[in-house]
Structure formats: C-alpha cells, structure tokens
Amino acid sequence: MKTKKITLLSGDGIGPEVSIEAEKLLNLIEKQFDYKFEIQKKDFGGIAIDNHGIPFPEDTKNSCKTSDAVLLAAIGSPKYDSLPREKRPETGLLELRRELKAFANLRPVMLFDPLLDSSTLKKEILTGTDLMVIRELTGGLYFGKPKGIEVKHGEKTGFNTMLYTESEIRRIAKIAFEIARKRRKKVISIDKANVLDVSQLWRDVVISVSKDYKDIALEHMLVDNAAMQLIKNPRQFDVLLTENMFGDILSDEASMLTGSIGMLPSASIGDGTYPAIYEPIHGSAPDIARKNLANPLAMILSVAMMFKYSFNDKNTYEVIFKSVTKVLETGHRTKDIFQEGTKLVSTNEMGDLVCQNLVM
C-alpha cells in the first residue's frame, strides 16, 4: 500500500468545482489501485483572504511543505483587485511557488485528436502538435528587485526587474534538456537577446549547458517570432524553454492549439526538497463559477501528471490519459469545447465519465 499525503488547494471561482472531480478520481484510484491518499484541504488564495486575511496562511504553508504533492485548482477574483498587492490571491500563488522552490513549470500542450476541430486554428496546421513549454517559475520579472511604484523626478514611476542569475538559468536549462532526451530531442530556447541583456545571459548559459547534451538539438528563437511560429507551425516545437513572463504569455497562446485553456495541466517542480505543485493553467473563471459549466479536464490531467512526476507511476498517468481520450472520442464536451454534433455535459458529468471510463 502506497500512502500519499496530498494538500488540496481548491481556491476560488471554478476551483472548488473542478477539485471535486479530482477528488472523485482519487477516491476511485484509491479503491482500484494500491494507494491510500490523505487529502488535506486548505484555504489558499481569495478564500484564505476571506477566512484569514492573507492568501497563503501558515497552516496551509506547513501542510504543503510536508505533503507528497500539492494539488491546486485556481485562485483569484476581481473582488480582490483593490487590495494592496501583498494581500492579493496572486501574491499567494507566487509565494507558494517560491516557498516550495518550484522553479520548473512543465506545461505540456497535448492535442487530443477528437478536439482538432475545436481549435480556432486549421486542422492541417495542428495535426501532430506535441510540445512541452518549460517555463522558469521563480525568477525573472515576477520576482526581480528593485520593483515598485515611486515618485521619481516629480512623477510616479513604475518598475520591475527581469533578473536571472547564471545558476537559475543553468538549472532550468538542464531540466529542459533532460526532458527533451525523453521526447523528440529538440529544445527551442526563447529569449529577447537582440534587446535584453538578461536574455543574452540566458542564451549564453543555455548554450553552455547544451555542451553536456550533444544528442539534443538546440535552437534559439526571439520571443516575438516564437509567438508567431506557435500559430504558424506548432509542429516544429518539441521542448520550448523560456523565462517566467515569456512562458506565462506563450503558454496561454499555446493552450489554444488544444482548443481550450480548460484542457491544459501543469506541474511545477523543484529540486526535490519540497513537493511539486500540480495545477491547471487556467484561472478561476469567476463568470462561470458555481454553474457546473467548467471543464474539469485540466485539473484531472494535472492529477495524472502528479502520478507521473511525484509518485513515479507512469501507468496511472496513462490510465487517466486514456480515459480522458475515450470520453472525448465518444463525443462528450463541456461548454468550452462544445461543437455542433457533440454531447454537451456539465462539470460533474465530465468527471463521472472520466471515472467510468477508467480502465485499470
């Protein structure tokens, strides 16, 4: 019997709804496989602000740090926009990533064939797309100092700093090359080296790391061109390596290749000192919250990633993945991926279907 402690942060908006579907799946896996899950539900994000006055309370932090994995649904609501930055849900998320030293954010862009028609892009362009965005997650503009809004030369001036040390670039580049080794052996590193000094260092360090990975093809691409190439010819990408802010933007863009941002899971991993975080890349979608409309598949696929990366259990990952494929093949769609001729299902119906189609 494998016992795993999971901290579940269902957060805000559609978070609680998609979390219920993840829990359903975990309960089933527990019954069918040799697992025992200790699921600790903790307040995080807006709900934590409501209940404790801060987005990432100490109790939540302790639970996360002593778990085998952290499962996070979504956080945020316009309701908190007027709070000072350090009290907002998003600050809690950045703190979680930093506290758990989760510097490598893996965002696989997986294309399910039955959804080829759901994308706004042409099928011929999309077919065969299979890429992994590897986004640096604890550095760059999100964390660099100095930052702030100050009065300078008589007027308000806002500033952030895109800062990377050599070691930060080196460790994320290594992850990218290691992952590429298990894929199609190609890394495209994204930067803005024609303008930014920090990007020049990024490029230099990635080149130096690549010397230890002679079997992996390395290319560099400027971020503006990368934004274009993702839409023009997504098949050329295998591993897309990039810094925090560029990765935030490019991964939302890449998600649309799959038809909906509601399909994309992610894993945020560190050096193993602390557990990894698994979360859908979508937000809390307050406009559709509590309507049983949200797509739970990104959350469910995040659970799958947890088995693969934290529990070293590729089999359960594949079982979940196959079930999701089956449910899509049989024409079931939540609203975000719905099309004429398919069957519209609710959040909880979609979760039930994934459970029913799980073949152990």
Interface residue list for ligand IPM (CB under 6 A) = 76, 90, 93, 248, 281
Residue 352 binding result from ligand IPM, Mg ion, none, given CB thresholds of 5 to 8 Å by partner type: none
In Å, what is the CA distance from 223 to each residue of 4, 237, 241, 242?
A: 39, 13, 11, 9
User: Binding partner of residue 90 among ligand IPM, Mg ion, none, CB under 5 to 8 Å per kind?
Assistant: ligand IPM
The reply to whether 336 belongs to the active site is no
* Backbone angle region of 45, left / alpha / beta, with phi > 0 → left and psi within -120 to 50 → alpha: left
Residue number, 209 or 250, with CB nearest to ligand IPM: 250
**Residue 275: is the preceding peptide bond cis (ω within 30°)?**
no
To the nearest 10°, the Cα dihedral for 118, 295, 252, 242? -120
Q: Is 279 in the site for Mg ion (CB under 5 A)?
A: no
Q: For this structure, is 122 an active site residue? A: no
Measured from each CB, the residue nearest to Mg ion is: 248
Distances (CA, A) of 225 to 133, 194, 203: 16, 12, 16
Q: Which is nearer to ligand IPM, 114 or 283 (CB)?
A: 283
Contact (CB, 8 A) for 298 and 258: no
Residues 6+ apart with CB under 8 A from 100: 64, 65, 70, 268, 270, 274, 275, 276, 277
Q: Taking CB within 5 to 8 Å according to partner kind, which of ligand IPM, Mg ion, none is near residue 130?
A: none
Q: For residues 47 and 284, give the distance between their C-alpha atoms in angstroms, rounded to a whole number.
A: 12
The option from ligand IPM, Mg ion, none interacting with 93 (CB < 5 to 8 A, set by class) reads ligand IPM
Residue 76 or residue 296: which is nearer to ligand IPM going by CB?
Answer: 76
Cβ pair 240, 184 in contact under 8 A: no
Annotated active-site residue 238? The verdict is no
Instruction: Output the furthest CA–CA distance in the chain (Å, rounded).
Output: 67
Residue 202 to residue 168: CA distance in whole angstroms: 9
From ligand IPM, Mg ion, none, which one binds at residue 46 (CB under 5 to 8 Å depending on kind)? none
Closer residue to Mg ion in complex, CB, 89/114: 89
**Residue number of the CB atom closest to ligand IPM:** 90
**Catalytic residue flag (residue 248):** yes
CA distance 74 to 60: 15
Q: Of these residues, 50, 224, 271, 287, which one is catalytic? A: 224
Q: Which of 68, 117, 130, 252 is catalytic?
A: 252
Kindly write out the interface string for residues 244-263 of this chain, putting x where it contacts Mg ion by CB under 5 A and - elsewhere.
----x---------------
For CA atoms 290, 292, 297, 301, give the dihedral sign.
Answer: positive
Residue with smaller CB distance to ligand IPM, 218 or 281 = 281
Residue 213 falls in the annotated catalytic set: no
Using the rule CB under 5 A, give the single segment among 128-136, 240-248, 303-311, 323-331 that binds Mg ion. 240-248
Q: Nearest approach, Cβ of 60 to ligand IPM (angstroms)?
A: 17
- Backbone dihedral region for residue 161 (phi beyond 0: left; psi -120 to 50: alpha; all else: beta): beta
The catalytically annotated residue of 43, 238, 248, 313 is: 248
Binding site for Mg ion (CB under 5 A): 248
Tell me which residues are annotated as active site: 142, 192, 224, 248, 252
